[in-house]
Amino acid sequence: MVQKQLIYNCKNGDRKAQKELYDRYSNTLFGCCLKYAPNYQEAQDILQDSFLTIFKKIGQFEDAGSFEGWCKRITINVALQRYRGTKVYRLEDGDCVIDEVLEIEEPDNLGMQEMLLMIQQLPDRYRLVFSLYTLDGYGHKEIADMMQITEGTSKSNLSRARQKLQHMIIKWREDNTCNAS
């Protein structure tokens, strides 16, 4: 079914169209969920909640932009909503903001799966800012607005996420060098 017709049918509550839409976009959106969730199970929950929201709000979609982008934005908002109102966002504002960009050294044999597992191990506040900034290209002002934090907190969380990832990569490299010997 053509995307425009599929969306139209979903707007009219057509269950077959909703299933087709789910089948068409679930893998892409699940990849998005994995970037924000601390584990596979929570990513599945976020995906389910995202599709519930997509189907509830599909009437608001206008052909002004990418439907996939619209769905991703909803998915990101659903992921962030899971953590709103928790201490995750109440990091000390302006706490040691490090302005330099830390380069994350990637070993030649570090795959996307390993990197994703490392990102999922980050504390919530670091993982969310890292994913929004590095993986999805949001700026610190946008992140601050989305997460209801200051720009300084966003920058600080990103810096700390990068530091933690750098340490994880170094440890991973050491462990894999020792195991290869």
39 has a pLDDT exceeding 60: yes
Phi, psi dihedrals of residue 141, rounded to the nearest 5°:
-65, -45
pLDDT in tens, 59-109: 999 877 899 999 999 999 999 998 765 543 333 333 433 333 344 444 456
Q: CA nearest 147: which of 132, 159, 161?
A: 132
H or E element at residue 3:
helix 3-11
Q: Can you give the pLDDT at residue 159?
A: 95
- Domains, the chain, in order of start with CATH, read 3-81 (1.10.1740.10), 90-180 (1.10.10.10)
Q: Can you give the pLDDT at residue 85?
A: 54
pTM of the predicted structure, to 2 decimals: 0.77
DSSP state of 84: T
Taking each helix axis as running N to C, give the angle between helix 40-57 and helix 67-81, from 0 to 180 degrees, rounded to the nearest 10.
120
Q: Can you give the pLDDT at residue 91?
A: 37
Residue 38 CA, chain-centre distance (Å), reads 10
pLDDT in tens, 127-158: 999 999 999 999 999 999 999 899 999 999 99
The answer to whether the CB of 79 falls within 8 A of the CB of 37 is yes
